[in-house]
Amino acid sequence: MHQGPAHAQNVIEPEAWTDTGVRRTRREPDSYRALAKRLWDDNQRLRRQVEELLAFQELAYTDPLTGLGNRRRFDERIKQEWSRWQRYGASFSVVMIDLNGFKQINDTWGHAIGDSALCTLASYLVGAAREVDFVCRLGGDEFALLLPHTTSEGGQALIDRIGHTLRTEPLRLAEGQELCLEAGFGIATTTSDTANAAELIEQADAAMYHSKRSSHLRTV
């Protein structure tokens, strides 16, 4: 019996791939190809929108002057560290930093120099910190460091390094003047008596304001 035509109707065409990555047969209607292209275009548009949203979110967590994390990011990070402390007993330290004489800098040399002073301090903090540490600007002349797996002795050693940099690398001004920046530092480390993250911040703040009483601003 001759079954040539019937057999030809059952032949499956070899598969091929469209330029959008969609599998089709060679007999695929044009409407399928149009649908595949529309889906591909929609996917690309959604991907761009997601990337834009992520970039916007990053801006919401970043200090625009220094490029450091801001208070919102600090609040999130300290909650994460506190959770690790409660779950695993992984102690951490908080260092609060306040640039001394910031208002005097602005009043004497202008806001541009004030901004330079903030950025200079920010760069010194980042330079002294480890990769696992978190550096942020809380606002104004206030900064903070989160130091995972760090004792108070380890945190004090980092503070000493930053202080040495401030003393030996002044901010250069016009006409050969140099502005020797100073800052107040306060450190607090988690212990079994620490009630919550807010208390830890308060302890570091208190230590920082105590240290500021013996600091001053000078030019040479």
Point out the residues that are catalytic: 141
What are the DSSP calls for 16-68, one per residue?
Answer: EE-TTS-EEETT--HHHHHHHHHHHHHHHHHHHHHHHHHHHHHHHTB-TTT-S
Burial 73-87 (b: 16+ CB within 10 A, else e): bbeebbeebbebbee
Residue 215 is classified by DSSP as -
Report the candidate in 63, 202, 194 with the shortest Cα–Cα distance to residue 134: 63
Whole-angstrom distance, CA of residue 65 vs CA of residue 119? 7
Token pair recorded at residue 97: 């930093």
Whole-angstrom distance, CA of residue 71 vs CA of residue 77? 10
